[in-house]
């Protein structure tokens, strides 16, 4: 069985590896820091469910919202992330991608 890792990839190609734990997304002191003014200081969280081997995203009541595949997700409700989902925090767009350990080694 291959070891896999989940990444969020920006339009410029920057890859953010999703850890297998809860992370905050926002502008200030967050594990995933985005610089856009359309992103709140603490905009959203991405959590990992070990039993299901899934990542979930939840908007924290942000002004400009969190979107998955152009659909605004409700505040304070987790949505499961799937391969090739397009995630938008405010106006920052990221693609959810999955890579095997070997593929990641080639990309680095």
Domains in the chain: boundaries = 4-107
Cα gap 104→64, rounded to integer Å: 32
The β-bridge relationship of strands 32-33 and 44-49 is unpaired
102 has pLDDT over 60: no
The dotted CATH code for 4-107 is 2.60.200.20
Q: Using 50, 70 and 90 to split pLDDT, how confident is the model at 89?
A: very high
Structure tokens belonging to residue 98: 């999955």
Give the pLDDT confidence of 9-41 residue by residue, as tens digits.
Answer: 888 888 888 888 999 999 989 999 998 999 999
Structure tokens belonging to residue 15: 């890859």
What are the beta bridge partners of residue 105?
none
Model pTM?
A: 0.83
Q: What value does the CA radius of gyration of the chain take, rounded to a whole number of Å? A: 13
Give the pLDDT confidence of 72-87 residue by residue, as tens digits.
Answer: 999 999 999 988 899 9
Sort residue 54 into left (φ over 0), alpha (ψ -120 to 50) or beta. beta
3-state DSSP assignment of residue 105: helix
Supply the pLDDT for residue 98.
61
């Amino acid at each position: 069985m291959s070891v896999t890792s989940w990444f969020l990839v920006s339009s410029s190609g920057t890859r953010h590896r999703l850890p297998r734990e809860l992370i905050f997304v926002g502008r200030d002191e967050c594990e995933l820091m985005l610089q856009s003014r359309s992103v709140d200081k603490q905009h959203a969280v991405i959590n990992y469910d070990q039993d299901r081997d899934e990542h979930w995203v939840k908007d924290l009541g942000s002004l400009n919202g969190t979107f998955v595949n152009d659909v605004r997700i409700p505040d304070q409700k987790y949505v499961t992330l799937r391969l090739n989902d397009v995630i938008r925090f405010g106006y920052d767009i990221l693609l959810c991608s999955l890579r095997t350990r070997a593929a990641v080694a080639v990309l680095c």
